Amino acid sequence: MKIHNFSAGPAILPASVIEEAAAAVAEYQGTGLSILEVSHRSKEIVAVMDEARQLVKDLLGLGDDYGVLFLTGGASTQFFMSAMNLLNEDETACYIDTGTWSSKAIKEAKIFGGVNVLASSKDQNYNYIPKDWKVPANTKYLHITTNNTIYGTQFQALPETDSLLVADMSSDIFSRPFDANKVDLIYAGAQKNLGPAGTTLVIVRKEILGKVTRAIPTMLDYQVHIKKDSSFNTPPVYPIFVCLLTLRWIQAQGGLLAMQKQNEKKAALLYDEIDRNPFFSGTTAVEDRSCMNVTFVADSPAHEEAFLAYCTANGISGIKGHRSVGGFRASIYNAMPYESVVYLVELMQNFKPA
């Protein structure tokens, strides 16, 4: 039976990427070695790092004024690393609280400077994106989480601000076109749209660095990693290689505009069924619905259990909602085929609870 992987992460990868990645584990580019064994200082791996960085810039339309890094520690490390590198103790950053991950980022940033929670959707269990807020003039940076994997909400456009803009784009990076030059620092765990768990993408405008007065530990200093091309220490070579394969795949599909068209088509199909089907209902404000993580609930706990069992028996994996909210979550990242969403919708239509 074919398994349809709707997991929120580590998430589905393109089939061709998995095939190429598996072949490289056996032997890489005539070296006689597995890619797991090739030195990160070798010309082969330096070429991987160089191409991956350039593809990120090409896909996002960025120039050499940005540094592109592949680091470790997940987005959770970037919660504090971003604040440590940008925020002085006597400065204030503004945060928009839209869920679990932004809440964690707020907690970490408070260690390094002032934090103003400018707006929050916690009052309604994070089922919408706050609106009608204004960034104060003295703000060092505004931080947003562009897509919320747990609650299924998404910023439909980047906010306008005169401050620096920092964006956690872990779950919607490379899923749609946006003006990346408006963002001063982007970070994203790879395990959604970019590659496997094990590396984290950081994109930072170089001129904003080196402005804090505190001493920064070497391993947490963006400038050090930029100077060393993400190889100050041994980088996670294999996850970065898989990211490179995925970036190539995105480019070959037609880039971010092609990704957007497919993702919107998948999301529309699934949301239409949720809105039509009497056994299910959506959990988020319609105008803030995510094209990456579609969250919904059944009309009763008994039907929820029955539908989850029905999905499992029919090859649907990873659809159970996050433990903190329950219900269902269908993650339909770039690599999710349209046909798999069609299959899930057919199961929803055929579901006949006792």
Distance CA 169, CA 234 (A): 25
Q: How far is CA 202 from CA 42, 67, 137, 164, 206, in A?
A: 23, 8, 26, 15, 12
Q: How crowded is the C-beta side of 166, counted as CA atoms within 13 Å?
A: 28
Q: How far is CA 79 from CA 86, 250, 338, in A?
A: 12, 27, 33
123 part of the active site: no
Maximum Cα–Cα distance for the chain, whole Å?
A: 65
Distance CA 317, CA 306 (A): 15
Distance CA 92, CA 353 (A): 53
43 part of the active site: no
Task: Answer whether 127's CB lies under 8 Å from 120's CB.
Answer: no
Q: Which residues contact 83 (CB under 8 A, 6 or more apart)?
A: 93, 108, 109, 111, 112, 113
Question: Which of 168, 172, 184, 221 does the annotation list as catalytic?
Answer: 168
Residue for token digits 């807020």?
A: 133
Question: Which of 97, 101, 140, 288 does the annotation list as catalytic?
Answer: 101
Q: Which residues contact 91 (CB under 8 A, 6 or more apart)?
A: 113, 114, 140
DSSP 8-state class, residue 320:
B
Distance CA 352, CA 109 (A): 48
Query: Both tokens of residue 103?
Result: 């809440």
Query: Both tokens of residue 318?
Result: 């990873």
192 part of the active site: yes
Question: Which of 97, 172, 192, 320 does the annotation list as catalytic?
Answer: 192
Q: In what order do the strands lie in the sheet with 66-71?
A: 66-71, 200-205, 185-189, 164-168, 139-145, 92-97, 114-120
Distance CA 145, CA 130 (A): 12
DSSP, residue by residue, 326-354:
-SEEEE--TTS-HHHHHHHHHHHHH----
Catalytic center residues: 101, 168, 192
